[in-house]
Amino acid sequence: MSPALTIRPYSEGALSQAAAKLRAGELVAFPTETVYGLGADATNADAVAGIYAAKKRPSFNPLISHFPDRDSAAKHAKFDARADKLAEAFWPGALTLVLPRNADSDVCDLVTAGLPSIAVRVPAHPMARELLRAVGRPVAAPSANRSGKISPTTAGHVAGSLGDAIGMILDGGPCGVGLESTVIDLTTDRVVMLRPGGVTADQVSKLLGTEVIMAESDDTAPKSPGMLTSHYAPGLPVRLEATNADPAKHGHEVLLGFGDCNTKGFDAVLWLSKTGDDIEAAANLFAKLHEADQSHFAGIAIAPIPDHGLGIAINDRLKRASAPRAPHDGK
């Protein structure tokens, strides 16, 4: 059911209402200096699945986690000297850093798309920072628009695009930058620009005194995960659309179950959603894939998942998970 939409300009009451909604697992669109973000509690997988449902996003690319300051980001991501230098120079601002994720971070796997890295950003917009401080948890937020539509730089754009799918928009006026943040990957020895944005390669390169590699133009550079075929590929073979167990052919498999699928003959079943709920299945997807991958079975069988709603994104991700790995494809 679509919630009734509330659009509120800055006030203490609006901020605390928005923070309470986020903490309760609801979606709230909020202004940043780049574009409006569609926020959800990054530690709540159901809430994050709601982002994909609202945006009708056809694939699970990892999302940026937003923080009020560098120290709260450092609870979830490992900062090396380069990261600290960039944060010092450009935060708060239009820069996102992809860093190794801390083992004890409680950001859910749906935000990081199962990767061992995490994208972190401290936005400069005063309303965003106040909101993030009040929430007290990392907030995952892609741009607040339907997938494939133009990024929103006013509350009106957000209402036009997502008004029937979300309950609240914080109105902070038009965004100053109007272009998504620059994304820099620091998970290797190299400095790789995954997405160009307000902060330029030149600025980054001058500050760090090293070359900045553009992901697009270098085959061996880490890629933005959305560009990969098998960005999270389990070690075990993955069999899609599995309607029957067949140990003679496939060995003993663990089944990732969905709805009223056939579980007969499988050695173990991990449920994506017993009731066939696509939002629940999306929220469980990466955690269950990891769990299955760590089992002693010969392979992972996946029950058929209907190709509608979030099923589209789930099937897209599963196709990538079952694709053979190419050299340089994945990290």
Interface positions with ligand TXA (CB under 6 A): 32, 34-35, 37, 61-64, 96, 98, 112, 115, 117-119, 121, 123, 141-143, 180-181, 183, 185, 194-195, 224-226
125-to-150, 159, 171, 255 alpha-carbon distances in Å: 20, 20, 12, 46
Q: Report the nearest approach of ligand TXA to the CB of residue 64 (Å).
A: 4
Question: Is there a contact between 148 and 101 (Cβ–Cβ < 8 Å)?
Answer: no
**Does 32 help bind Mg ion (rule: CB under 5 A)?**
no
Nearer to Mg ion, 134 or 179 (CB): 179
Q: Among all residues, whose Cβ is closest to ligand TXA?
A: 37
Closest approach of Cβ 65 to ligand TXA, in Å? 8
Nearer to Mg ion, 30 or 271 (CB): 30
- Please list the alpha-helical segments (H only) found in the chain: 12-23, 45-55, 70-73, 81-90, 109-112, 126-135, 155-162, 201-208, 247-250, 278-293, 311-322
CB of 196 to ligand TXA, least distance (A): 10
- Token pair for 243: 């309607």
The region of 65-73, 95-103, 140-148, 274-282 touching Mg ion under the rule CB under 5 A is 140-148
Q: How far apart are the first and last CA of the chain?
A: 39
298 versus 323: smaller Cβ distance to ligand TXA = 323
Compute the Cα dihedral for 124, 126, 127, 131 and give only its sign: positive
Query: Closest separation between CB of residue 316 and ligand TXA, Å?
Result: 14
273 interacts with, out of ligand TXA, Mg ion, none, CB within 5 to 8 A per kind: none
Amino acid at 94: A
C-alpha 113/C-alpha 311 separation (Å) is 16
x/- track of binding to Mg ion for residues 83-122 (CB under 5 A): ----------------------------------------
Shortest spacing between CB 217 and Mg ion, in angstroms = 22
Closer to ligand TXA by CB, 14 or 94: give it: 94
153 lies in the binding site for Mg ion (CB under 5 A): no
Q: Where are the beta strands (DSSP E) in 181-227?
A: 182-185, 191-195, 212-214
- For the window 218-257, what string marks contact with Mg ion as x by the rule CB under 5 A? ----------------------------------------
Tokens of 173: 């006026």
Nearer to ligand TXA, 119 or 127 (CB): 119
Contacts for 156 with CB less than 8 Å, ≥ 6 apart:
none
- Smallest distance from ligand TXA to CB 280, Å: 22
Q: Which single residue is written with the structure tokens 């009040």? A: 134
SS3 239: strand
Give whichever of 21 and 231 is closer to ligand TXA, judged by the CB atom: 231
Least spacing, CB of residue 214 vs ligand TXA, in Å = 13
Q: Are 207 and 86 in contact (CB under 8 A)?
A: yes
Q: Based on CB atoms, which residue is closest to ligand TXA, 118 or 303?
A: 118
- Residue 65 lies near Mg ion (rule: CB under 5 A): no
Q: Cβ closer to ligand TXA: 199 or 305?
A: 199
Give yes or no for a contact between 1 and 9, defined as CB atoms under 8 angstroms apart. Answer: no
Q: Does 143 sit near Mg ion (CB under 5 A)? A: yes
The candidate with the shortest Cα–Cα distance to 270, out of 278, 260, 258, is 258
> 3-state secondary structure string, 29-92?
EECCCCCCEEEEECCCHHHHHHHHHHHCCCCCCCCEEECCCHHHHCCCECCCHHHHHHHHHHCC
Chain residues binding Mg ion by CB under 5 A are 143
